Amino acid sequence: MNASLSLEADRALLGRTSTAEKVAEILRTRIIEGAFQPGERLAEDKIVKALSISRNTLREAFRLLTHARLLTHEMNRGVFVRSLTADDVRDLYRVRRMLECAVVGAITTPPAGLAQVEAAVTEGERAEREGRWRELGTANMHFHQALTALAGSPRLDEMMQQIIAELRLAFHVMNDPKRFHAPYLGRNQHILADLREGDGSAAAEKLSDYLTVAENQLLTGFATRTPPTG
């Protein structure tokens, strides 16, 4: 009983993070959620007041987010939420195609870690039934994160996480989440079926098809919107 209590206290210690890191996480979440417009400037004064922190702490948090490509830091002009261009989208999908298809295509037997892939499909099915299209999109991203996680590489996981975060910025440009995310659930189910049989090659082909369709849809959405500022 005593040992169990002591370990729980240790677990709380593991979660200690600095204020700067907490603020970075808050901002990251808000940016991904779309609380800020692409291109919007994050004025230090406003955020300092909103979060009751010091400017220096905020500046540290901004620096933490720089590498995540969610912010752009412009000397003497401030920090802006990234605006993705069509070229960004193309590059993101080029990288996804390379990463995800390499992972999936290398599978020759039913992989051990399918539970998360399955959970993401289940999550998507539930979201679809309940007509919650944003959550469907989130489940789709979980699906792809889980695909990459089949490689068992912490670095690949982090790369994919970053790619997905950037893609979130792009998705906010799309004004119809149902139209954008709904068609892919069936594809995910087929990819999962291939993986269950250990047919990575077939799964990678379906995945590549999906990526091409999704990329084109996103690029079309971009073309029908006003060009981003900056």
Q: Which is nearer to its own copies, 7 or 75 (CB)?
A: 75
Strand partners, 194: none
Under rule CB under 7 A, residue 54 binds DNA: yes
Under rule CB under 7 A, residue 19 binds DNA: yes
Q: Write the single-letter amino acid at 198.
A: G
Q: In sequence order, what E strands does 166-216 have?
A: none
Q: Which does 63 bind (CB under 5 to 8 A by kind): DNA, its own copies, none?
A: its own copies
Name the minimum Å distance from CB 172 to DNA: 22
How many positions of this chain bind DNA (CB under 7 A)? 22
Kindly state the helix (H) or strand (E) to which residue 72 belongs, with its residue range.
strand 71-74
Q: 200 near 108, Cβ under 8 Å?
A: yes
Under rule CB under 8 A, residue 155 binds its own copies: yes
Residues 160-219 that bind its own copies (CB under 8 A): 163
Dist CA 174 CA 151 (whole Å): 31
Residue choice 23, 31, 81, 92 for contact with its own copies (CB under 8 A):
92
Residue choice 23, 101, 104, 127 for contact with its own copies (CB under 8 A):
101
Structure tokens at 181: 């995310």
Residue choice 60, 91, 125, 215 for contact with DNA (CB under 7 A):
60
Q: 77 near 83, Cβ under 8 Å?
A: no
Q: 120 near 143, Cβ under 8 Å?
A: yes
Q: Which residues bind DNA (CB under 7 A)?
A: 18-20, 41, 43-45, 52-57, 59-60, 73-79
